[in-house]
Amino acid sequence: MLATAWLRIRRSKIALLSLCVVVAIMLFAILAPALSAMSGNDPFTSNTSPEVLDDFQTPGLPLPGYMYPSAEHWLGVEPGLGRDLFARLAYGGQVSLTIALLSTAVSVVLGTVLGAAAGYFGGKTDAIISRIMDLFLAFPHLLLVLSLTPILQSRLRDTPLGEGSFLPMASLVIILGFFGWAYLARIVRGQVLSLREREFVEAARSFGASHMSVLFRQIIPNVMGVVLVYATMLIPTNISAEAALSFLGVGVRDPTSSWGQMLNAAQSGNWYLSDPWFLVVPGVMLIITVLAFNLLGDAVRDALDPKASRH
């Protein structure tokens, strides 16, 4: 099944292009230290000298030679502190993507295991898990995540997870992961409900396999297609969520950079009105990333969904 899916993905131009873009963005983030070293900058050194930032008309605004891309600063510098934008974008990509991928992983594990357990065991287990799913789906996500993040951060502060720049990342991963599993669980449950009646499950049971072994060896591998589709679609959602929370000031904070934090910096003090480039850099990066992941998700779904071959 995966081989045919891969063949279908390879045949679609949009799918291949979005896959390439996703890989490029990942490399960009992974290679952030090397790339910034190559440009001779780092994301934290500020330079507020009057040669770089305006001192008269609009204090803090980068002078023309520094506002836009140049050989010295590949994407120009930030207004206010004069830090290198390229380095902040690359390092910020590390933070944004790490949060998105890890929180997706948390949701996927929770959603798959709980959804499969609900569908496979049925009865009381199903009733309890399904009610919890309903509850999670009824909550207004952003609002709850927004209000719980500062609370979780104050909780984590004294634990090993609470060290410096690690704290906002850990708390976002936990919160986004914890509130993102219910929808996937519902889909997995539906699939498992029909899977458990199939002969191979009965066969495994009659050979004396335990429920746990059937669940993890027979059932879950068979829903991996759906899980994969949903995971690729959850990643861009989580990238946007990180951006939203950091933008609102409850996620990643200065001096650590992330794409949401950069948006926040662009809005604070209305910098983006006098230096639109400062908004364009993280904004366009976010749009390209979310778009590439979304298109890839669509392609994976079309490739794995048997219904897609009918059209």
Partner 1 sequence: MVLLLAAVSFITFMLFQLGPSDPAAAACGQECTPERVAEARVALGMDQPFFVQYIDYMRGLFSSRMIGAPGAQTLCEWPCLGKSFQTNENVADIIGRSLPYTFSMAIGALVLWTITGVGLGLLAALRKGSPVDKFIVGAASVGVSLPIPVTGLFLLLLFVNQLHLLPFTTNEINSPFGPQGPGAWVANYLLPWIALAVLFSASYIRVTRTNMIDTFGEDFIRTARAKGLAPRTVTFKHGVRAGITPVVTMLGMDIGLLLGGAVLTEQIFSVPGLGFTAVHAAISGDLPVTMAITMLAAFFVIVANVLVDLAYAAIDPRVRLQ
Please report, as ranges, the residues that interact with partner 1 according to CB under 8 A.
Answer: 131, 134-135, 138-140, 142-144, 146-152, 154-155, 236, 240, 243-244, 247-250, 260, 263, 266-267, 272-273, 276, 279, 283, 286-287, 290-291, 294-295, 298
Closest distance to partner 1 from the beta carbon of 37 (Å) = 29
CA-to-CA distance for 102 and 143, rounded, in angstroms? 21
| Minimal distance, residue 63 CB to partner 1, in Å | 21
CB of 218 to partner 1, least distance (A): 32
Pick the closer one to partner 1 by CB: 85 or 266.
266
Biggest distance spanned by C-alpha atoms of the chain? 83
Nearer to partner 1, 84 or 242 (CB): 242
Minimum separation from the CB atom of position 293 to partner 1 (A) = 8
Of 156 and 228, nearer to partner 1 (C-beta) is 156
Q: How far is the CB of 154 from partner 1 (least distance, A)?
A: 5
Closer CB to partner 1, residue 138 or residue 212? 138
What are the Cα distances from residue 290, in Å, to 25, 236, 277?
11, 5, 20
Comparison of 41 and 240: residue with beta carbon closer to partner 1: 240
Nearer to partner 1, 33 or 283 (CB): 283
Q: How far is the CB of 160 from partner 1 (least distance, A)?
A: 16
CA–CA separation, 250 and 226 (whole Å): 32
Minimum Å gap between C-beta 35 and partner 1 is 23
Structure tokens given for 199: 């002969």
- What's the per-residue H, E or C state across the chain? CHHHHHHHHHHCHHHHHHHHHHHHHHHHHHCHHHHHHHHCCCCCCCCCCCCCECCCCCCCCECHHHHCCCCCCCCCECCCCCCEHHHHHHHHHHHHHHHHHHHHHHHHHHHHHHHHHHHHHCHHHHHHHHHHHHHHHHCCHHHHHHHHHHHHHHHHCCCHHHCCCHHHHHHHHHHHHHHCCHHHHHHHHHHHHHHCCCHHHHHHHHCCCCHHHHHHHHHHHHCHHHHHHHHHHHHHHHHHHHHHHHHHCCCCCCCCCCHHHHHHHHHHHHHHHHCHHHHHHHHHHHHHHHHHHHHHHHHHHHHHCHHHHHC
The residue (of 63 and 279) whose beta carbon lies closer to partner 1 is: 279
Q: How far is the CB of 193 from partner 1 (least distance, A)?
A: 21
